[in-house]
Homo-oligomer: A and B are copies of this chain.
Amino acid sequence: MVIAGIVAGGVGSRMGNSTVPKQFLEIGRKPIIIHTIEKFLVSPEIDYVVVGVHADWHDYMDDLVKKHIEDTGRIAVTEGDNSRNGTIKKIIEKADDMWGIDDETIIVTHDAVRPFISLRIIEENVKAAEKYGVCDTVIAATDTIVQSSNQKYITEIPMRNEMYQGQTPQSFKYGLFKEVYSSMTEEELSIVTDACKMCFLRNHPVYLVEGSVSNFKITYPFDLKMARIMVEEK
């Protein structure tokens, strides 16, 4: 079984004067998160979709699903947690309640605010997670990456051809997630914010799946403008 977990805990503080979390802003007459959910529902790889939202927006999200999604038997909404990993844990619990999961179940976790994910990326995530246990979606860094530990001047310039920008999905087998998550101390959990970092920290190789420039994260008003144009062109 393959579950898509849509992570939508954000409150959109970087989007300027919007009072609605950015995943609920509309592009092409539909909320961003609905575009994202639809991509997973049409993927032949995905059995079910679980959306993890902030408690304050649970009812709102339920209403959006009713309004926009026909096949409501394959989707569930749950309340997230303060951290990304906490939200993913809640998503997994919900999936287990609804449909029953086991250690071999693949969880494909994806940012709600990356609506332009392709079916190819979803498929490659499922295949890589099945084969290797865990994978991350990345693109080769187009810009030179520099490091500064003091925010004033460059303290390191890593090798450019080794640098990748992480996108999502991050995908894994439930058994591996459970094992790694339960081994984390409270302190580690407060620092290690996503599943791939947890696996990396416990020496589980995290395989790379090639993302795409279109699979960008809608973070700033600039991104929202781009997203609206991309949707209108289709």
Q: A residues touching B (Cβ–Cβ < 8 Å)? A: 132, 136, 138, 141-149, 151-155, 157-159, 162-167, 194, 196-197, 200, 205-208, 213-214, 217, 219-220, 222-223, 225-226, 229
Contact = CB atoms under 8 A, between A and B. Distances in A.
Contact of A205 (B154, B167, B208): B154
A99 B234 CA distance: 51
Contacts of A226: 226, 229
A194 B213 CA distance: 25
A152 B128 CA distance: 11
A6 B107 CA distance: 47
Contacts of A136: 146, 154
A145 B165 CA distance: 5
A105 to B, nearest CB: 22
Given A142-B217, A217-B143, A222-B213, A197 B157 contact: yes
Contacts of A143: 165-167, 217
8 contacts: A141-B145, A142-B219, A145-B166, A151-B208, A152-B207, A157-B196, A213-B220, A225-B229
A208 B154 contact: yes
Contacts of A152: 207-208
Nearest to A147: B162
